[in-house]
Amino acid sequence: MKLWMAFFCALILGLVLTTPLLAHHSFSAEYDSSKPVKVSGYVTRIDWQNPHVYFYIDVKNRDTGRVENWAFEMGAPTAIARQGWTKTTIKVGDEVTVEGTRAKTGGFHANARSVFMGGKKLGAASSEGVTP
């Protein structure tokens, strides 16, 4: 009975420790590096949390005149902090230009590589080109 209990505990512990690793994705699984994007707009939302920081901007489509709400993924909070970001670096209403890579699914979702605002360029800790 003690042997079964030890086995069961080890199994549960193994699952708990490896599940976060399975949940994380590689860059190439979600983004297409042959689809670069560069858009400008106004920040509508910021989600500063693990595993990635996301921010959203309203972009006016030059062809249709419609406003599109783009979602941009950046690195983990600690990774972008090393690149000079703080929780107050970007705020709702700020005008930004973002260079990045579009999601394979299309739509208005991309991985940010660089964010330009107020004449400053900040890296976004993109994992593009990083082999896991």
Give the number of other Cβ atoms within 10 Å of residue 79's Cβ.
17
C-alpha torsion 3→7→13→17, nearest 10:
140
pLDDT given for residue 131 in this prediction: 39
Distance CA 116, CA 99 (A): 8
pLDDT digit string, tens, across residues 86-126: 999 999 999 999 999 999 988 899 999 999 998 899 988 87
> By the 8 A CB rule, do 41 and 59 touch?
yes
Domains, the chain, with CATH or none: 25-123 (2.40.50.1010)
Whole-model pTM: value is 0.75
**What distance, in Å, lies between the first and last C-alpha atoms of the chain?**
41
Q: What is the pLDDT of residue 22?
A: 42
Span 47-77, pLDDT tens digits: 999 889 999 999 999 999 999 999 999 989 9
**Residue 20, pLDDT above cutoff 90:** no
